[in-house]
Amino acid sequence: MELQPFRISIQQQTLDDLRERLAHTRWPDEINGAGWSYGTNLAYLKELTDYWQHHFDWRKQETMLNQLHQAKTTIDGLGVHFIHEHGKGPKPLPIILSHGWPDSFFRMYKLIPLLTDPEANGGSAEDAFDVVVPSIPGYGFSDRPKEKGFNQQRIAEIFSQLMTQVLGYPKFGAHGGDWGSSITEQIAFAHPDSLVGIHLTDIPFMHLFTVKPDDLTPEEQAYMKAGQAWQMSEGAYALIQSTKPQTLAYGLSDSPVGLLAWILEKFHIWSDTNGDVESKFTKDELLTNATIYWVTETINSANRLYYESQHNPPQTGASRTDVPTGIALFPKDLIKPPKAFADRFFNVQRWTEMSKGGHFAALEEPELLAEDIRAFFRPLRSGV
């Protein structure tokens, strides 16, 4: 498993084509006063698209991202892109951070320095981490799977090999949210002896379907009902991506505005923004994430993970892991689980309910998340 240094370098013709497509967008109509209730708001999308076309500087973002140490390696026939930043402290703890959808490795760019150099960010050098941030296969600069069945269990195996065999970390920690929480859980199922602990920002959604309602407490039953209500009001995207992702891909792969609208809606509604998405994310942050999808042509392969999870669910989905687990919940995330539900599947040793923040916590509230990760792993470091 040879390592190759990696630098992002998008061809200029790709960027020129993007601006040309933005200039020729055909806009739909909108109901008067609709706001965001029908989906992505037309006025704001036009504003953001104008910025994307005339002001957004991808080369500036590319330079910023290339300040991070990146590499690619081949595992199980797939090229895997990842960031690898060494910690500044007496004994950094290795940790792998797994992102989700519709974000990318970019989700972690604010979190990385808070974990690698805590002393420079109000913490203690004793809490430093060696940080590894891979792009999920099918996302960003990792290769796209070409065969059926490539679910989060297989991704977990690749990430485990990345840490132990490629980078030589026999013991490490793991953190994730969204798909990242499910991937992290799968690492814990398959390789518990490699982990000192895992840290999550949500309970993998598949667990909503692995328990019998009669076995639930009243609080858990209320959580299940909230999950069903959310699925009916907000979950249509997941049903489409779980059933007919290829049909959706034609529009999203051909229209950058269509792609942006599909992604932007989630950043708006899943975050603690009070309706103003730029109160938590800058235009440059929103567009850097969307541009990564566009220039790598990965929206279809990213969406397809929903299909693979639905049609090829992990075999260990109903199991419980004894790996020490920390869970940090942010109030504007999708559905808030009760601790009793989490205890069914995880050895919960730290449970934190944050005062603010949402689904993309690493990008939205990186300081809060970094402190919780440091605090959770602090007593576990002796196990490395």
Catalytic residue among 99, 199, 268, 359: 359
How far is residue 102's CA from residue 171's CA, in Å, rounded to a whole number? Answer: 29
- Residue 306 is a catalytic residue: yes
Of the residues 103, 130, 178, 272, only one is catalytic, namely 178
Strand partners, 200: 176, 327
pTM of the model: 0.97
157 neighbors 190 (Cβ within 8 angstroms): yes
Confidence class of residue 317 from pLDDT cuts 50, 70 and 90? low
322 is known as an active-site residue: no
pLDDT at 12 over 60: yes
| pLDDT above 70: residue 166 | yes
Q: Residue 383: pLDDT above 80?
A: no
pLDDT score of 302: 98
Residue with tokens 């891979």: 134
- The span from the CA of 97 to the CA of 151, in Å, is 18
Angle of CA points 303, 75, 294, to nearest 5°: 35
Which residue among 109, 293, 306, 307 is the active-site one? 306
Paired sense of beta strands 324-329 and 195-200, if any = parallel
* Cβ contacts of 212-216, under 8 Å, gap ≥ 24: 216/341
CATH of domain 4-383: 3.40.50.1820
| pLDDT of 318 above 70 | no
Averaged pLDDT, 287-300: 98
Give the residue carrying structure tokens 């500036």. 60
pLDDT tier, 316 (very low <50, low <70, confident <90, very high otherwise): low
* Residue among 271, 283, 263 nearest 356 (CA): 271
Residue 319, pLDDT score: 83
Q: Do the Cβ atoms of 80 and 73 come closer than 8 Å?
A: yes
Task: Mark 239-272 as b/e (b = at least 16 C-beta within 10 Å).
Answer: eebbeebeebbeebbebbbbbbbbbbbbbbbbbb
